Amino acid sequence: MQTVYEAAGGADGMLRLAHAWHARVLADDEVRHAFSHGYHPRHTERLAAYWGQALGGPPAYTDAYGDESSVVRMHSGNGPHEEMNRRAIACFDQALADVGLAGDERLRQVLHDYFAWAAVTAMDRYHASADDVPDGLAIPRWSWDGLVAGGAGQG
């Protein structure tokens, strides 16, 4: 069976989606605040590798950049931000349409569900401090049926 990663276009599909999402969030008054401190010059490439690995692709993110703990730390210590999460998810949904991934309802839904879960669960757990994030978390895996049972990074 084809992975979600493969159905979304593999590495090229993830990169197109990451570029489209990044453009959407930078244009959003609420979400762009998260990038006001600056961001890595290869942010979209790193994001595409992360999403790809989470959605059944190769371990490109962990091979080149780090583990789940490093990703969660980047998103931690900022206090609760429900509206920003909601808007980031809306930007993701719009990005899916921008890159032509919204036409396949099953694929669109699983990608939406993954991103929404990641935004409000995986990346939004440690409001007080990035120092609270445990070491050694693995990137959670997501399939057509959702979070892979026993998927690492659930913490």
Residue 34: per-residue pLDDT: 67
Per-residue confidence band for 73, with pLDDT thresholds at 50, 70 and 90? low
Whether 121 shows a pLDDT value over 60: the answer reads yes
Q: What is the pTM of this model?
A: 0.86
Domain architecture of the chain: domains with CATH: 4-147 (1.10.490.10)
Asked whether the beta carbons of 46 and 99 are under 8 A apart, the reply is no
Average pLDDT across the chain, whole number: 85
The 10s digit of each residue's pLDDT in 21-65 is 999 999 998 887 666 676 668 889 999 999 999 999 999 999 998
Beta bridge partners, 147, equal 142
Per-residue confidence band for 155, with pLDDT thresholds at 50, 70 and 90? very low
The 10s digit of each residue's pLDDT in 77-103 is 465 567 888 999 999 999 999 999 999
SS3 at position 132: helix
